[in-house]
């Protein structure tokens, strides 16, 4: 599968199907199947895994059929070859952004600066003010030859943020700019889903009954509601509550 296009893989061939023990069924299901309390006979276990394979095959078939029908509706072409080509064109399998994004991985020895250069050239805003690409390239070279095993964390963004503390023999930070650039790469939106959620939140707050809601108030509402966690569970300091109350009264007096 590594050397084939995803859509060209025959999912119905037994050669491309994992063994029963390697199928992804979830940890809880795996523990239940292995535990004595399941009391499942071998025939039932075999039937279960057969249904799992059937589910995966049906899901892939459904996706391919839906994509084919969608492309057919857009292009009005019914030729299978044309539809297949259209699918490959619309799905981002070979998108250069995705291909170069591998530079953010923790495998730093195989990372290429050309990939990082791709992002710096495409998104100049990633370059911090007062910094040149040459300085970033120098830090990247030092990064590849420096042991950062103590900085590695389960979260990739934390790992990239942790590579800043190492210092050189003169007691200066070795990586001043590179961590900021790497974390910025992780902030690049991979889809429009987040933007759509913001638009939906704006529509829910600025309705026809609140048509005179000001831009500053709307922005404050969206920011407050976008914060993680439940609003009712948030804990505020007493001083913060006083500041909020004072700001509210000042706003009322200004409007009156």
Tell whether 1 is covered by a domain.
no
Q: Which two tokens stand for residue 132?
A: 């040149």
Instruction: Tell me: do 211 and 242 sit in the same domain.
Output: yes
Domain edge (last residue) among 138, 168, 186 = 186
CB-based contact 175:164 (threshold 8 Å): yes
Instruction: Tell me: do 54 and 82 sit in the same domain.
Output: yes
Q: pLDDT category, 152, cuts 50, 70, 90?
A: low
pTM exceeding the 0.85 threshold for the entire prediction = no
Q: Domain range for residue 123? A: 96-186
At 173, is the secondary structure helix, strand, or coil? strand
Q: What end-to-end distance do the CA atoms of the chain give, in Å? A: 69
Q: Which two tokens stand for residue 149?
A: 């095993």
Domain edge (last residue) among 171, 186, 201 = 186
Tell whether 238 is covered by a domain.
yes
Buried residues in 138-152 as b, exposed as e (16+ CB within 10 A): ebbeebeeeebeebe
At 91, is the secondary structure helix, strand, or coil? coil
| Tens digits of residue pLDDT in 164-196 | 565 566 666 677 788 888 888 877 776 777 788
Instruction: Tell me: do 167 and 206 sit in the same domain.
Output: no
Domain edge (last residue) among 90, 106, 128 = 90
Average pLDDT, the chain: 76
How many separate domains does the chain show? 3
> For position 78, what pLDDT does the model report?
47
Instruction: Tell me: do 19 and 83 sit in the same domain.
Output: yes
């Amino acid at each position: 599968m590594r050397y084939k296009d995803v859509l060209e893989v025959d999912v119905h061939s037994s050669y491309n199907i994992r063994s029963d023990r390697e199928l992804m069924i979830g940890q809880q299901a795996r523990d239940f199947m292995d535990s004595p309390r399941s009391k499942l006979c071998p025939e039932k276990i075999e039937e279960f895994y057969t249904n799992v394979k059937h589910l995966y095959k049906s899901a892939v078939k459904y996706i391919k059929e839906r994509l084919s029908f969608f492309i057919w509706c857009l292009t009005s072409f019914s030729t299978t070859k044309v539809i297949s080509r259209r699918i490959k064109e619309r799905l981002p399998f070979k998108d250069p952004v995705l291909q170069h994004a591998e530079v953010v991985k923790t495998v730093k020895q195989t990372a290429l600066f050309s990939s990082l250069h791709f992002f710096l050239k495409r998104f100049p805003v990633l370059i911090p003010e007062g910094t040149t690409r040459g300085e970033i390239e120098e830090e990247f070279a030092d990064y590849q030859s420096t042991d950062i095993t103590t900085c590695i964390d389960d979260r990739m963004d934390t790992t990239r943020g942790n590579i800043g503390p190492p210092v050189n023999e003169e007691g200066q930070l070795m990586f001043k700019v590179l961590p900021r650039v790497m974390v910025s790469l992780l902030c690049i939106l991979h889809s429009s889903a987040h933007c759509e959620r913001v638009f939906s939140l704006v529509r829910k707050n600025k309705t026809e009954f609140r048509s005179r809601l000001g831009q500053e108030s709307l922005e404050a509402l969206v920011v407050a509601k976008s914060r993680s966690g439940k609003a009712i569970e948030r804990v505020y300091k007493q001083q913060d509550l006083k500041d909020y109350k004072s700001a509210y009264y000042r706003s009322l007096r200004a409007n009156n």
